[in-house]
Structure 1
Amino acid sequence: MLTGGSPLGLENSVTAGIISAKNRRLQVAKRMYEEIFQTDAAINPGNSGGPLINLNGEVVGLNAFIIQSSQCLGFAIGIDALKMQLEQYVFK
């Protein structure tokens, strides 16, 4: 019997997350995303939102979405772009 997490015991999975391109601009639906990383991190419907971490253990992005029609290329929003967006929600 497992206590918490995934019933399969897969809650701590890790992928390589190699960045193959930086500073991409992508339009998804009507929203334009800037400073996007293209990555090979395993991003699937339901498991986006995990951090993209460099070799020093620093968060450099947030795994956000895939484009399934392009062989499931993964994309992460860069941490600097996220910080700018989050400032409006943080009380100083």
Structure 2
Amino acid sequence: MKTKEIIKRARELAKPFCISKGKNFRLKDVDPDDTLEFTKEADKPRAKEALAMGVTALAELQDKLYAQDKWAVLLMFQAMDAAG
């Protein structure tokens, strides 16, 4: 899959998690059990494939940012204390 296709897919997956309400956003309103379309045990291989493609795309994009001397990536993750 080409980088542009991966970015398009990543945007589709991230859209439900983007904050659009500003001041009205409440983390408690977000379902922590939401797995989007990866809901069944059979979806684990697809989820691993999607993760691998995302890592590849991030690596390619990071190389482009470095080559252009740009610093503009913000990634935020929330995990429980035991998440490592």
TM-score by length of 2: 0.22
Greater helix proportion: 2
TM-score by length of 1: 0.21
Q: Which has the higher strand share?
A: 1
